[in-house]
Amino acid sequence: MKTIAQFLTGIIMLWSSMVLSAGTQYDLRVDGLSCPFCAYGIEKKLKKTKGVDAVEIDLEQGVVVVNTEEGVKLSEAQFKQLVKDAGFTLRSMTEKPLP
């Protein structure tokens, strides 16, 4: 069951990165993500942020992938506060442009 979920998550993440315009992808390592309810809480918080196109969450890896619209940049401090407001701790963040 976990393998199927990982496979589907990978497919969705690949598809979303191909479909979206040239924005920015942020990979957030978040401590405390352990259940679908946790994922829903952080996803809801991030999707309310102006310029966020998509949010994908891998519970097993504790990774939240956030894609933004073209021209939208978010800082690590912004993500740290958003994650904290959702009740979690941001461990690290990486950023890369979408194709």
pLDDT 10s digits, 21-39: 579 999 999 998 889 998 9
The third-level CATH classification (topology) of the domain covering 2-97 is Alpha-Beta Plaits (3.30.70)
pTM listed for this prediction: 0.75
- Residues 44, 1: Cα–Cα separation, whole Å: 25
- Residue 11 clears pLDDT 80, i.e. is over it: no
3-state DSSP helix/strand/coil % of the chain, to nearest 5: 40, 30, 30
Least confident of 29-33, 56-60, 66-70, 95-99: 95-99
Confidence of residue 85 (pLDDT cuts 50, 70, 90): very high
Judge whether residue 40 has pLDDT over 50: yes
